[in-house]
Structure 1
């Protein structure tokens, strides 16, 4: 069972500059709300997946940039709970939501079943993300991890519906 403290610990906020602690607390609360009661196909609580992504970014890629780790934590929030978008925008800003929307398949944002044309739209979206010039090399690395994770999931036979 996760709570605010365990999520803040996973983000390693104790190593962050103090000015980022408010955003970390907001992101932790948003993640609990967005992923609450959600279960992945494997039967695990959904929150385990974004926490694993944070661990990969932090421990394997040595990313310590607070905003990138927050992005890793909330990368699936709009996919599993599209209704969380307004609250995320209020607490973390519209530009943060724009980044999340860029990582979320359109059919999930629209709350509809996947259609034949969605794969082409998704490929266009991901190509744009992979070639984007971002201000942060860490955010670019996060995109690559998350896009690779989505591709592995899609090709494993567990394609999103």
Structure 2
């Protein structure tokens, strides 16, 4: 395993690399690059790069008021780097971030990584009957006019 470099700032090269993965992911398939850029600007970003090549190895994003609530999303490890423990290393960095300490609620939604997140204290919802949501599956695969409801 090569040396790693963590970063929290993003630039155009990182946006391209992050977008290349997320545009194909099950949770935001087809996300427009501009939408992702806006989401990243309004979030805490956690980037893990190969220190030698500079290539993106893993990413996570946290939406938070940095006082009471946080939502972890868009977590991935580049396919060729899976199995190296990068998800664990990335999550160690996320949960240790100074702006994410003392929160009343830190949530996430996952289809298949429960085991990873459980190691960091995440549990199934204590009262799922209290939660509500608006879900628009496939939203980014629709045309702009369809998304706007016209």
TM-score normalised per structure 2:
0.32
Q: Which has the higher contact order (CA 8 A, sep 6+)?
A: 2
- When Rg is computed on C-alpha atoms for both structures, the one with the higher figure is 2
Specify which structure has the higher proportion of helix.
1
TM-score w.r.t. the length of structure 1 is 0.31
